[in-house]
Structure 1
């Protein structure tokens, strides 16, 4: 698994090519915006019909990341389910797969705007979580320091191809969406450019994690 190692808030971290964040010292894996059950939610609400395979694909990628990093703690940074009804509608086989991934691990669900509130699936449920110098929450807050968040699904276009990416500056780290059926927001959208400092870095996901200065 190709990754980019960096230091943020005096903490050694690694951006994985899959879009997950690894904190080796704590054997911790963090992912954001899984949006499990998106195809079910769209069908239920009369939206675009998508092949109902995204939950399996997302769980397979998450399984591989956990196995590769041997993580003992997993933090899901909000919007883990496309809505609470999607969590209830998860097929038994996929629910068992998720239960197997959670077994024996410290698993934290951070509340998101799609799945605010507890779900009956185990783990710990938090609005945000502070660990050492880092604070994990779903949506970035102005003036935050050492903040790790998600929500925006950032993407960057490089060589004619748009790729999900991490956004990093001195104060905050924004993760890409990990879910299979998630769209994205351009890095230069005002909602993102207004958050990131002048020396911000993008770390592109894909076959390799590739760092590059954030274009302005």
Structure 2
């Protein structure tokens, strides 16, 4: 499997090159910040348009990760939709696609700041999920241990052998993991930003997404 293996709070996890996190012992796949419907929301608000293909592209990559891991439990870690109205704007074939991915699996939507309301697409809708010894929530909290979160869309820039590399990245320290955004149309916050510097402890590392996940010390 194309991933970087590490341990958090005594639990073996794998950061996949796609930006998904896999927990083998629970056969659980976690993704964050899908932001389905971003192009539709921008058009609805009169903002400069984006090609309306991001939901299908994100679903294609999610489907591939589910097939690769054969995960029986899927955790969507908040901001799965760009806003509440984007849920109703999904096309029928997109709703059917999501339903087909949910079939035979436990599917959990974690509440985010973009999508606080109920999601009428099957699965459970929770504020957070505790599966000892880990807790899944959208936004990290100071002082937590064994926490998996998203929200910040972390990105990392490195200079390797004279080349500049900038990619979404996992941020990992002794107490938490912050996932990169999984959605196709998502920006990011650099790891040097003060909010991420405050959250991540000394010795934190970054795992850059891509065909070959690249671990490196978290830039500070």
Identify the TM-score tier after normalising by the shorter chain: over 0.9
Corresponding position of 2:141: 141
Corresponding position of 1:204: 208
Corresponding position of 2:75: 75
Corresponding position of 1:174: 178
Instruction: Describe the SS at the equivalent of 1:116.
Output: coil
Shift of 1:161: 2.5
TM-score, scaled to structure 1: 0.99
Shift of 1:162: 1.3
Q: Which runs of 5+ in 2 are unaligned?
A: none
Corresponding position of 2:155: 155
**Residues in 2 aligned to 1:187 and 1:132: alpha-carbon distance in whole angstroms:** 28
TM-score, scaled to structure 2: 0.97
**Residues in 2 aligned to 1:132 and 1:23: alpha-carbon distance in whole angstroms:** 12
Equivalent residue pairs, number: 216
**Residues in 1 aligned to 2:74 and 2:214: alpha-carbon distance in whole angstroms:** 23
- The one of 169, 193, 197 aligned to 1:165: 169
**Residues in 2 aligned to 1:74 and 1:2: alpha-carbon distance in whole angstroms:** 18
Corresponding position of 1:12: 12
Instruction: Describe the SS at the equivalent of 2:199.
Output: coil
**Residues in 2 aligned to 1:48 and 1:151: alpha-carbon distance in whole angstroms:** 24
**Residues in 1 aligned to 2:48 and 2:213: alpha-carbon distance in whole angstroms:** 31
Shift of 1:215: 2.0
Instruction: Describe the SS at the equivalent of 1:74.
Output: strand
**Residues in 2 aligned to 1:45 and 1:112: alpha-carbon distance in whole angstroms:** 21
Shift of 1:207: 1.1
1:191 matched to 2:187: no
RMSD, matched Cα? 0.7
Instruction: Describe the SS at the equivalent of 2:51.
Output: coil
Corresponding position of 1:108: 108
1:48 matched to 2:52: no
**Residues in 1 aligned to 2:34 and 2:63: alpha-carbon distance in whole angstroms:** 13
Corresponding position of 1:60: 60
